[in-house]
Amino acid sequence: MLEKINQTVAFIKGKVTIEPEVGIILGTGLGGLVKEIEKQQALDYKDIPNFPISTVEGHTGRLIFGELGGKKVVAMQGRFHFYEGYDMKQVTFPVRVMKFLGIQYLFVSNASGGMNPAFEIGDLMIINDHINLMPNPLLGPNISELGPRFPDMHRAYDEKLIALAKKVAASNGTAIKEGCYVGTTGPTFETPKEYQYFRIIGGDAVGMSTVPEVIVARHMNIPVFAISIITDLGVPGKIIEVSHEDVQKIGNLSEQKMTRIMKDMLTQL
């Protein structure tokens, strides 16, 4: 894997001049944040050696370098999922590459279903913990140059970044929730009893991404901030049929609030 990472990093450095400080992963229907990135230099995933290709609608498939909130960033406009048929090392490969490109922080976003009865569609939820119900991306031989065999995960989501997010949300009048994200393989949306089970075990929201990238980021000692947009509800009495198009639509409606929080956070980092 190290050889592939170095090959990919060398290719990217030969194509772009920006050395990123912060990595950003954009979830379903949340690619609009890239419009705020200035001095853009973009690469299509299909042109990057060893990169998978995003196959999901709402995931454009570009790596975008530029400036946001006064910081140099690299943003993934579209991520990869286990349910697409990629293995976990492929799903998380871009995080490895971003670390070797120089990022010091990772910001992650996603669209998720809310199980917490206090949540409403369109809410923003800061992720403060997760429950992993997917194969762990660190299974197999450990590469010591990337991180330890047994990385600690008791603070997977950086407390200082969470505090900063709350501060900027309060300052710009954006209501925000906080909770635990349950990561599942998908691609099916949840049954009512699955929603109930995820709530019982401590989940506030559920989705099909994020957790693998966060585990790999923490393996490499990258501080992580993650945020969910609640695009549907898994609350008894509020569960309705949901489609990928519905998720994209709600994501698009709420992403401006998420973008402002992330941009303000970057300004104050």
Domain boundaries, the chain: 2-268
The class of domain 2-268 in CATH terms is alpha beta
Residue 57's nearest CA partner among 30, 35, 33 is: 30
Cα–Cα–Cα angle for 236, 240, 241, rounded to 5 degrees: 140
Question: What value does the mean pLDDT of the chain take?
Answer: 92
Return the minimum-mean-pLDDT range out of 27-41, 111-125, 169-183: 27-41
Token pair for 239: 């569960």
Q: What is the pTM of this model?
A: 0.94
d(CA 97, CA 93): 6
Q: Read off the pLDDT of residues 69-102 as tens digits, 9 standing for 90 and up.
A: 999 999 999 889 999 999 999 999 999 999 999 9
pLDDT digits (tens, 9 = 90+) for 1-19: 999 999 999 999 999 999 9
Q: What is the residue-wise DSSP string for 104-157?
A: SEEEEEEEEEE-STT--TT-EEEEEEEEE-S--TT-SS--TTT--SS---TT-S
Between CA 56 and CA 78 the distance in angstroms is 8
pLDDT at 234: 86
Which pLDDT score is estimated for 18?
Answer: 97
pLDDT tens-digit series, residues 22-45: 999 988 666 678 888 999 999 999
**Token code pair at residue 57:** 């609608």
Question: Hey, CA dihedral for 16, 20, 23, 24, is it positive or negative?
Answer: negative
Beta strands 22-26 and 105-114, pairing class: parallel
